Structures are given as C-alpha cells and as structure tokens.
Structure 1
C-alpha cells in the first residue's frame, strides 16, 4: 500500500492548464480498455454547468507514460469529462445559449488569432469564463513501471458497474483473444475504427459516436445497428452491439453451439470463477479462437457482414423493413438468425449468392413467418437458435451456388474500405485520397505529375517507421465540388460515406483506357517506370487492389515499410500529416535508427 501511495500523486490542475496539456497533445486514450465517446450534448452541458457553479466533480485519473519521446497522460478514468471541457472551450456547444469567450485564456486567444478556432456568439461573460478557466480539476497521476497494471486499475475503478454498462465492464481490462476480437469487429461495424489502440484525445472526437446536435464524429443514426432498426441508440451507447457480436463469434468459433445469456457472456470474458480458477467457458472460447485464429474469424465475419449489407442495399430496405411488415423495434436475435444462416451458407458450405432478387423475395417478411422465438429475454437455448438458423438457411439456399474457390476474404472489401476511410481521420500521415489520374477538362490528359506524387507519398509513408502500412486510395474526391466535376465529366454520381465523396475510377477507365482491365494494366506498367527500388516496385504492384464498393470501382495502393527506408528518385521523404517533406541529410541517422535500433 505504501508503494501504491508513492506512485499516486493527487493534485489540482486548473482548466486553463488542462487545455494547455490538450493542445500540447499530452492526453492519450487507449481504446483497448477505454469506452468510446458517447456523452450526449445534454450530459456535456450539465457537467459544464456544475463547473460554472463551482460544484465538486469526480476525480480524473491518468497514468503517466512515455509516448513519442515525451511524458504523456493516458486517461484511465475521466475521458468523457475531459472531452466535455475541451468541446465547450472550443465552441462545439453552448451553455444557456452562450459560448466560451476565446479571449479568456492565452492559448485560445492565440488559436483565435491564427484562425484555428472561431469565436461563436453570443459570448459568455468574461468574468464567468475566467471562473471556469480557473476551476481546479482533481487530477490523480499514477506512475509505474509496467503498463499491464492499467488494465487492472481500470477494471477495479468500474467494478461496481455504476459507470459502465454490463458489456463495457466485461471489456474493461479484458486481454483475452476473444475479447479483443469482439472489440475490433464491433468497432468495424460501428465505423469508429482507428489504426492503433493508443490515440490522442485530440483525435477521438473524429471517431466518436455523436448525435445530429454535434457537428463531428459518426452520427449514431448512421451506425449500421441503428440505421437498420436492429438496436436503439441507447443500446449502441451501452455497447449492446458488442454483445450481439460476441454471441455471433461464439457460435462461429465453437464446434458445440452454445446457448446465449448474460451469464454466459460473463464466462467468455473470464468474469466467473470456479474456486480460484477461470470458468471452463473462458478456456474453451480462448482455445477455439487460437485454433481458428483471430484473422480467419475476422475475415469470415466481415465477409458475411458485407454480403448482408449488399443484400439490404439491393433491396432498398432496412433490416427490419425487409424481415417484418412493420419497422417497429425487434430483439436482436432476429439479426443473429439471419447473419448465422448466411454464415452457414457462405462460409461452412462455401456458397455464393446467385440470385439477389430471388433471395430478397424469400427474405421478405421472414421474421414474422419463419423465425420462431420465445419471449426474447434471459437465456436463449442452443437448440432454439440452431433450429431457427437451419430453417432460414434451408429456405434461402435455393438462391445460392457453389463457390469456385474457398477464400472468404475476396469479397470482404465494403467494410474494410469504409474502415480505411474512417482511420484516415486519426492517422492522416498514412492515408491519402485522389479522385483519379486524368485531369478533369476537355483533353483529360493523364496527370503524370500526380502519379509520381502518389508513388512518392507511398515511399514517404514507408519511412514513418517499421511495421507501418500506408494507403493511397484512387476514386475519392476531396469535396462536393470536385465530386460534381467528376459527375459532369463522366456522368457518374458519387456515394457519400462519412463526409467522403466516393466517385470511383470506372468513368475515367471507360473513357480513356477501354475499361478497368486495361486501366489496371496501364497502372502496373507505370509503377514499373517509377524511380524507386525494385523491392518497393514489386511490393506496390503485388499489393495494389481494384475493388468494388457497391457500384463504384476503387483503386487501392498499399505499402508496408520494409527493414530499411525507402527512396524516391534518390531522396528520402517523410510523411508529416497530409504532406510529404524531404529529409535533410543531417536527419539520416535518426531515419535509419527507426529501422535498425
């Protein structure tokens, strides 16, 4: 206990100082155990009102760690509160119709003068803003040698369940393979993905789940579960979507199909003990995931999910509208039944959909006529679930044919592409987007300078460090104006996803290269002529993909850093944010140290 007290420093930090830490990129969020940003606008306002009135607020707990060669604070408890403070200061919401006066603090005044922040009106009284800026937050800083202690601290803080939902409590500090796979796949479905587990708090708002009242992040109404009528907003907020994903994965992974209940989910996460030993279900699910591998289970899940999204997209209906006469709320077990019926056909029996219209016709009103569920509460027996899955699979199997080759990853690009787009919000240096390679104009020349820049960008991405993967996506316009120019040039409309305007390259391929096959071969030949190493040429050519995103054709360039830096035209470049910068010779030792030390 004495050692713990030595490692734990409790101090007051005023909000002005906290904001300085934020601007200095000192706060980190570890998504392996932290919940997503989910506070509503009303909760944020209520919290700021407590500060304005001088009421005491709960302790904020952070862990001091080394990150990117500086001391950073990894948030263990208090992420929602810190985000609410930053959001209010930066004018993302008002309090009683008034906005924080940016001239109150030195840092916000500097950002206001540089136009990085914009003052909204009407402004709150400067005296009140000064009181808010001077409010002392109770900040507890924990220092330690091993990072593994953070998980245990986080779980113990939330062990009474008052702050977290049941599923969030299960995931808090869970390090098992099953728990990690559930978290990663759930994030892919929601769309709040990130390339790495540790993120700056500054980047979290770009992938937070928000309402239409907040002008950033991912609108909860657009999240698959809510948009399709499978789960309510509140269920997503409380991570009930992760329970559905966990139930589905357990079915996929285990040879003896399990029943479903809250208690069984606890056991999967190692929350149930027999004596001092973990419950057998925890050992069983961990062994099953290790045996099949997380990678294979992930590919299989995403393949089925993509196919289901494709079916719904072609039908023009939501999940609930397709399966029921009305679109009223339904228990998510209906979703599990259809998803796992598709899994049995697509993965286990290695089939492909042969007739989408026929399949959609069979699925119409199936929830009312062919899915027989009990009350929907408590324990769901393994027999009832299996009987429903088998019945649905048997009915719709007539619209499937045998797949020529067994590779469930080949069609799994709808979700993966959307995840790449979302990840770019938090990892700008590793993602870049272009609408195409032909100039939008009368002559439509191929833009050689742009192509060269793309290849240079890839080498710069590879120089960020070892074990890095970078992407350049062709077929995504910068904005609505550019998307409309593409439409005017090629007669193809764009698809909007998360503020990205997806135009595809099928228009320029048809107009200038007689189709996608010739276009693709032309690109491969261009890569061979670039002033880069043979190793990089081979890798870029080998990994380039032409994928379909609904009715759009997208070209994806990918590079993985090798065991040494990459050259472009005899020079080294580095990616800083969205820009390529040459590396001066005096920085070469630091560059090579990234790869060899």
Structure 2
C-alpha cells in the first residue's frame, strides 16, 4: 500500500477474495472496542439477500496492521457484515431454504474435498453463487499508527450514536481499570468471554450471541440476564447488562454514596468531568487500585456464584422468585438483591447457612420488601442504600460467619463457564479430561495419561510469552463420553455449552477414598515428572479443586516462564488440540519468543 498524508485506500474487493483472507486468518477483531456479535439469523439473511439482488451495501472499514510479523486487517466497522458473509458461505444458515453451493468457487470446493466443509440441504444455483462470489464489497483501509489511533477512528465513526448504544460508545477503546473490569465481568456473565482481546474473525462465531438455537455460539435465551427475565433481548443488544455491571463495580469500589444515571456513567468513563469535584473516573481508578483489580473481579464473581446457587435451589428464575406476577424492567431490583448479598458475603465475611430459609425469605421480596420509586433514569444513592438495608434485615439470619478463609476455593460457577467458553476460541491453551482411570471396571490409575497432561501443559506454556494454559479434570467434551461416564458411575454430567461437567467425585470415591486423597496423589505425581523445577513448583502451587453445582473438578494451570518449558529434555508446542515436538533446527525461533535465557 502506498503511503500518502491520509494513508487511506478505498476500493472494492470481491467476496471471493474476502473469503480467501478469512481462511488465512487475515481478519482480526479487537474486543476492546468491537461490539458483540449479535446479528439475528433474519438480519444475516436480509444482508445476504441484498448481495444476491445486487443492492449496494455499507462500506467496511479496516485498519492495516502488523500482528505476529504478518500483515493483518483489523475490523473497525463491518464485523457483523463480514461474519454474515463467511457464515453463509460455510453453511451455517440458508437463504430462502437454499445453502451456498460449495462447488461454486475453488476455495470452498477445496474445503469440501478436504472434509472441512460439508454441503448442506438444497444447494443454491451455481450461477447465483458465482455472482455472490464476484460481488464487490466496498472497503476503506487505513494505515494503523498505534492503538490510540484506531480507538479514535472508531469513536469518531460512531460519535453520532447511530451505530452504537451509549454504553458501547463508553466502552469503545476505553483502557481504564474500571472499563476493563466491566468488560471482562460482563463477558464472563454473558458467556462470550475470550482468552485475549485480539481474535481471528473465524473464532468470533463460537462466542456469538444468537436468538436461534444454532450448533455454535450462545443462545441468547441461555444468557443469565435473559434466562432470568432481568432485561430484554434488545436491552442486551444495547449492552444494558454492562451498565448494570458498571453500577455494581462503582458502588462496591467507591462506596455507598453514588447515584445511578447516564451522566454518572459518562463521568465514570471520563466523558464528563464536574469541575467542582474530583473526577469520578479518577476516584474509581484509585479505589480499584487500592482493593486490587483482580480482587474486585473475584469479589463480584463470588457473589454472582452465590446468587446462581440461590436460583438453582429455588428452581425459579430471578423474576419469578421476586414477584408473584412477571415484571418488566427489574434491573434495579436485581442490583438491590445482588448488593445485599455482596454486603453479607464480601463486606461482612459471611456465608449462606440456611439455603432453604434464604430462598423463602427472597420469595416475593420484590412485591413485599423492596420498595422502589418508578422514576426515570436517575436513581438516588439514598434510595439504593435504604432498599439494601431493608432487605438485609430479613436475610441476614440465614447467613453465618464463613468457615472458608480462601474465597477462591468456593464455587467457581461463572469462572469455570468462562474458561469453557474461552476454550472455544483458544483451543491450544485448554485441555479437558473426564478422569485418570479408564471407564472399565477396576481400571488402574493411568500414569501415562497423567504424563501426557503434564507434557501438554509444557506445550501450552510454549505457545507464546505470558500464556496461561489449563487442563481441567472432570469434564467431558463429547456427549458420548459423558454417557459412558454415566453408565459406569451412575452420575449424569451437568451440561454447559458443548461440555459436560462430570466431576471427579465418583472416580475419587471409587479408587482413592475421596477427593482429598485423589488430589494429594496428583500433587505428589507432579513432582516426579521430568520437567523444570520452576514448572513443577508452579503447577503444584496452582492446582486447585473447585465445585460446580456439587461436582468437583481439578484444575491444573501453567504460565509461561522466562524461557521455554521442556518435558523429558524435549520441547513441545500445541496447535489446536495436538502437540508437536520442536526440532532442534527451530530452537532459536522458539527461544526468541521469550524474554531471557537463564545465565549459566
């Protein structure tokens, strides 16, 4: 690309060429400012129909960047449109009951011949598909001059508010601790979290939010906020869930004197500053720094897990638990219940001591105990605090001083679900095993399988500097495996996304007299593995057991060190779900990725 003062290129590019870019992972999505993938199936079909009929479509804006020493195109505007094109070509939906004909272009025919794509349903006429492939999509490509440059382009593009909601504009490109926490926690609760902010466009479909029950992505009806009738589907599209999380993060960090309103949110994100007071954005940054960013996230996650446990025990949605008749716009009621539990669990250090009593106390509390005004968007701190105190009185008798001094060992409901979803976009950093015994009766502990797990962890550590790799024992990644487990132990797995949480309890009880002994055996075996002392120490210190709806899973974790990790004198890397040995000829390339070589 030739350089000019504006360094801007505007051109048409055929859909066939764009698909070629897609296959080579040229398109990148930066989740720090990009909105969620939320187009419905009808919206995707409508866009493809426009292409079929030759109608003009909006311009797609890309930033020309260098990533991992290769040229990439970061999508600034047009992610939904590009996703619609690629997912239609790859047979993920039909238009007028016809699927894209894979025989129409060379790339899809090759994919089909290699078994990577399978023609579905009734193929569209090849002539129509050839015209689709030739259709010229208008592109505007500019030379990226750093992250702040891209952020500013994105903000200006959407500054008129026609493209993004108010909350999406607040979050777009924001790099503060507050904004990062809101983004991370919101993704975790929705289920569309990813291990990194930068993803290939091809990975985004795995965490797309759809109103149809497709074979990929996240069904919007399964998202916590929609499942519990707290906000509407349209509100989720507008990121109203993130406004709720922003309110919670601010209230639990700064203190109990912050009203809720659109202008307060603007101030928290640094959009509006009151000259008479210190900046709210600065206040919340300092408060988060004092508590510690990770601790703030953990505290909020722990309380969400408690709330999910309460709803599970009640066998009701949040809306149905609080009200006799279904209510609309209950996000404020949610905040009152959430912040009351936060006060009892985090601030006062208590835990639920009587779940059935707590469920009864919360039953119809929205009708009986929580009294909120029906005003507009401005919600006073006084009303919020008085409502929390009013609810705390009847609830506190069902809590007692916690006996668990380590909150990270409590239920990991949302955190585990978060890891499961991240694995769909970063396969090389996640591995899952149901257990360490085969499903045959009286099977011995499989030491070879355990050694392979440790070898896999070292390969994960070599993926990139700063990488975190996980192997989770107690999870099946195929339904047939979960069914075989149930047949062997009589325990049904708990499904989430495309995984089944089977737990290690049955295996541990059968062969090791309980989870504690099983856990101890695994910890001891780590120290016998042919890996570096640094990796032995890290894996052994960070192994943990967590509970997911009364099923225990064991999490093994590794992080990259200053030098590559080895197993039995050899170096391995992981590509997808496979590991490969690094030959000596590639050692220099492997070592060049890491900060320093140990001194001799």
TM-score (norm 1): 0.97
Q: How does 1:218-367 map to 2 (within 5 A)?
A: 218-273=218-273, 280-367=279-366
1:503-536 CA distance string (max 9 Å, x none): 0110110001111111111112222221222222
8 A Cα contact 1:230 1:320, kept in partner: yes
Identify the residue that residue 65 of structure 2 maps to in structure 1: 65
Query: How far apart, CA to CA, are the structure 1 residues paired with 2:405 and 2:527?
Result: 32
Identify the residue that residue 423 of structure 2 maps to in structure 1: 424
1:279 offset after TM fit, Å?
Answer: 7.8
Query: How far apart, CA to CA, are the structure 2 residues paired with 1:154 and 1:62?
Result: 10
1:331 offset after TM fit, Å?
Answer: 2.1
Identify the residue that residue 97 of structure 2 maps to in structure 1: 97
8 A Cα contact 1:461 1:574, kept in partner: yes
8 A Cα contact 2:101 2:124, kept in partner: yes
1:255 offset after TM fit, Å?
Answer: 2.5
1:72 offset after TM fit, Å?
Answer: 0.2
1:279–1:123: structure 2 CA closer, same or farther, 3 Å change rule? farther
8 A Cα contact 1:48 1:85, kept in partner: yes
8 A Cα contact 2:213 2:219, kept in partner: no
Identify the residue that residue 489 of structure 2 maps to in structure 1: 490
Q: How many residues are paired up?
A: 595
1:176-226 CA distance string (max 9 Å, x none): 221111111100110100010000000000011112243210110000001
Query: How far apart, CA to CA, are the structure 2 residues paired with 1:406 and 1:480?
Result: 36
Q: How does 1:198-237 map to 2 (within 5 A)?
A: 198-237=198-237
Q: How does 1:496-575 map to 2 (within 5 A)?
A: 496-575=495-574
1:61-94 CA distance string (max 9 Å, x none): 1101111221000000000010011111111111
Q: Tell me, what secondary structure is at the counterpart of 1:596?
A: coil
1:58 offset after TM fit, Å?
Answer: 1.1
1:112 offset after TM fit, Å?
Answer: 1.1
Query: How far apart, CA to CA, are the structure 2 residues paired with 1:158 and 1:5?
Result: 23
Identify the residue that residue 111 of structure 1 maps to in structure 2: 111
Query: How far apart, CA to CA, are the structure 1 residues paired with 2:16 and 2:299?
Result: 48
1:348-402 CA distance string (max 9 Å, x none): 1111111111111111111100000111532111111111011111210011111
Query: How far apart, CA to CA, are the structure 2 residues paired with 1:271 and 1:279?
Result: 14
Query: How far apart, CA to CA, are the structure 2 residues paired with 1:249 and 1:550?
Result: 26
8 A Cα contact 1:205 1:217, kept in partner: yes
Q: Tell me, what secondary structure is at the counterpart of 1:359?
A: helix
1:13 aligns with 2:27: no
Query: How far apart, CA to CA, are the structure 2 residues paired with 1:382 and 1:161?
Result: 28
8 A Cα contact 2:229 2:318, kept in partner: yes
Query: How far apart, CA to CA, are the structure 1 residues paired with 2:145 and 2:154?
Result: 16
1:289 offset after TM fit, Å?
Answer: 2.3
1:443-466 CA distance string (max 9 Å, x none): 322112111110110111111122
8 A Cα contact 1:272 1:279, kept in partner: no
8 A Cα contact 1:270 1:278, kept in partner: no
Query: How far apart, CA to CA, are the structure 2 residues paired with 1:563 and 1:219?
Result: 41
1:10-35 CA distance string (max 9 Å, x none): 11111000000000100000000000
1:100 offset after TM fit, Å?
Answer: 1.1
Query: How far apart, CA to CA, are the structure 2 residues paired with 1:246 and 1:332?
Result: 12
Deviates more, 1:348-357 or 1:401-410: 401-410
Query: How far apart, CA to CA, are the structure 2 residues paired with 1:50 and 1:133?
Result: 13
Q: Tell me, what secondary structure is at the counterpart of 2:510?
A: helix
8 A Cα contact 1:527 1:537, kept in partner: yes
Identify the residue that residue 122 of structure 2 maps to in structure 1: 122
1:132 offset after TM fit, Å?
Answer: 1.0
8 A Cα contact 1:270 1:279, kept in partner: no
Query: How far apart, CA to CA, are the structure 2 residues paired with 1:445 and 1:410?
Result: 29
Structure 2: runs of 5 or more not aligned: none
Identify the residue that residue 470 of structure 1 maps to in structure 2: 469
Query: How far apart, CA to CA, are the structure 2 residues paired with 1:114 and 1:567?
Result: 34
Identify the residue that residue 80 of structure 1 maps to in structure 2: 80
Query: How far apart, CA to CA, are the structure 2 residues paired with 1:578 and 1:218?
Result: 22
1:274 offset after TM fit, Å?
Answer: 5.8
Query: How far apart, CA to CA, are the structure 2 residues paired with 1:286 and 1:278?
Result: 15
8 A Cα contact 1:11 1:138, kept in partner: yes
1:557-583 CA distance string (max 9 Å, x none): 111111111111111111111011111
Deviates more, 1:86-95 or 1:30-39: 86-95
8 A Cα contact 2:409 2:546, kept in partner: no
1:464-490 CA distance string (max 9 Å, x none): 122111000101113111111111111
1:51–1:376: structure 2 CA closer, same or farther, 3 Å change rule? same
8 A Cα contact 2:477 2:498, kept in partner: no
8 A Cα contact 1:89 1:100, kept in partner: yes
Q: Tell me, what secondary structure is at the counterpart of 1:386?
A: helix
Query: How far apart, CA to CA, are the structure 1 residues paired with 2:488 and 2:214?
Result: 35
Query: How far apart, CA to CA, are the structure 2 residues paired with 1:266 and 1:223?
Result: 26
Identify the residue that residue 47 of structure 2 maps to in structure 1: 47
Give me the CA root mean square deviation.
1.8
1:162 offset after TM fit, Å?
Answer: 0.7
8 A Cα contact 2:40 2:210, kept in partner: yes
1:47–1:317: structure 2 CA closer, same or farther, 3 Å change rule? same
1:273 offset after TM fit, Å?
Answer: 4.9
8 A Cα contact 2:472 2:555, kept in partner: yes
1:413 aligns with 2:380: no
1:256 offset after TM fit, Å?
Answer: 4.6
Query: How far apart, CA to CA, are the structure 1 residues paired with 2:97 and 2:31?
Result: 33
1:4 offset after TM fit, Å?
Answer: 7.4
8 A Cα contact 1:41 1:213, kept in partner: no
Query: How far apart, CA to CA, are the structure 1 residues paired with 2:4 and 2:403?
Result: 61
8 A Cα contact 1:428 1:578, kept in partner: yes
1:4–1:407: structure 2 CA closer, same or farther, 3 Å change rule? farther
Deviates more, 1:521-530 or 1:428-437: 521-530
8 A Cα contact 1:22 1:201, kept in partner: yes
1:309-342 CA distance string (max 9 Å, x none): 1111122111111111123434210000000001
